[in-house]
Amino acid sequence: MDNICLEHPEYKLKKPMWRKYRDLYSGGELLKANASEYLTPRQKEPPDVYSERLSKVFYENYIGSIIDWYAATLFRREPVLHVDGVDAAGREFFSVFADDCDLKGTNLSDFFRRQLIETLVGGVSYVLLDFPRPATPPKNRAEEEASGASRGYLVDYPAESMTNWSLDSHGNYEWVVLRSTHARKDDARSSEYREETVWRYYDKTTYRILRRVGPERSPVDVVDHGRHALANQSRVPLFETRVSDGLWLMNKAALLQIEHFNKSNALSWALSMGLFAAPVIYSDKEWNQIVGESYFIQLGPGDRFGWTEPEGKVYQIASDNLMRLQEEIYRVCYLLHQAQGAQSSVSQSGLSKLRDFAITQEVLRAYGDVIKDTMKRVLRFLGIARQDSVLVHVSGLDDFDIRDFSADLEDAERLLSLGIQSPTLRKQVFKRLAYKYLSDVRQEVKDQIAREIDASLDAC
């Protein structure tokens, strides 16, 4: 119970950071609601002026668009599952699983696209492998299949969900605690919502689920416990997707976004104030007249009256600085060519675009390798837990739509025209072309195409 309620020191350290990163990614009303945490007040700024500035804040969300661009570009063509083995039931399961991996109708590609976004925001994200728990334990594999107990599924958790953990001597998880909080009503007729907190504890063989409804001092009840899906493998059924600090985009750009946020709002406020010119009275006499739209002023023979307005030099400096901050955000995210492209009307050749995109391509491939590695581990342990006699491979996530399909077709024709005597090579080339051209069809259809390619080339 102590491990359930305690928080890991690293979690305590990073919890405020994750909240800030979530605001910066989402932007909009979420960031505006917490704008006081990011908009720096001026020295000795009157509270009413700062409050008015808060009410007028806006946020140019570059980093959110950049992260979404990476996720959309990487998954432009869906990853391809290769299920090898003679186990027909296992192959059929993975075909169904690829179209609905979380029992909510989410296909595998969309699920891991969301995992990548969470990873780029928080630096890490988690996938829990779980199975339904029937009321009566099945006696054999047939009953297990009939009751749906063997229908494994995935549950996604963001970085801030794992509140406590311990590692063994090999660096693997010894146990973990996942916490989630949401509002709950006791029944549909009730108008009152209460906070429900659920803790999920997993070690290498067992799990416990605890729940608290109400404030912090409310009692904590054990909802469920038992052996989990990977107990026979003596492994915590949690898989992490983690990127290095150099590929953690939000961590690289967050301070720049906050600086840009403050500068852009300061410039906007200054421009707004500049629209309301202040009167200036040049006089040696004591001034005590009221000035306003409904009043007039009386000047002596030597007095003068005028208006102040900014010369604009500081505005130009601020505008240039904002442009530099914008370019720096794109640069640290390996997308400087996009910042330059937004300001340039010069068209580029296809080869020039490929050259400018070279660094971004390498970063995309690195993200693709991270996602494929997580997918392979999850799917292979899922097959082991189900005791399927199949081996699952994952390919793809290495084509970012830089060139059209005809270029790949020409490359394949040149490769096959070399006359390499390898039936396996021909099979893989044909499969790759088919998967790329039919990237959005169901996994079941892809598997059927792969079998037909194998059968047709074997018969030649």
Quote the tokens at residue 197: 């907190």
pLDDT tier at 345 (50, 70, 90 boundaries)?
very low
Q: What is the dihedral of CA 211, 214, 215, 218, to 10 degrees?
A: -60
- Domain spans in the chain, listed from the N-terminal domain onward: 403-460
pLDDT of residue 376: 94
Of the ranges 6-20, 73-87, 337-351, 399-413, which is most confident?
Answer: 6-20
d(CA 35, CA 29): 9
On whether the CB atoms of residues 68 and 366 are closer than 8 A, the answer is no
- Angle (nearest 5°) at CA 200 between 199 and 202: 145
More confident position, 80 or 54: 54
- Kindly report each contact of residues 447-450 with a partner whose C-beta sits within 8 Å and lies 24 or more positions away, as own/partner: 447/83, 447/91, 447/95, 450/82
pLDDT at 12: 94
Could you read off the pLDDT of 274-327 as tens digits, one per residue?
Answer: 776 666 767 777 767 666 655 556 667 777 766 666 666 777 888 888 999 999
Q: Is the pLDDT of residue 228 over 90?
A: yes
Rounded to an integer, the average pLDDT of 14-21 is 96
Q: What is the mean pLDDT of residues 65-93?
A: 89
Q: Give the DSSP letter of residue 40.
A: P
pLDDT the model gives residue 21: 97
Count of CB atoms situated within 10 Å of the CB of 150: 20
**Spatial separation of the C-alpha atoms in residues 353 and 357, rounded to whole Å:** 6
Lowest mean pLDDT among 157-161, 164-168, 341-345, 424-428: 341-345
Instruction: Tell me if residue 179 falls in helix, strand or coil.
Output: strand
1 or 427: which leads in pLDDT: 427
Return the pLDDT at 276: 67
Instruction: Provide the b/e sequence for 173-207 (b: ≥16 CB within 10 Å).
Output: bebbbbbeeeeeeeeeeeeeeeebbbbbbbbbeeb
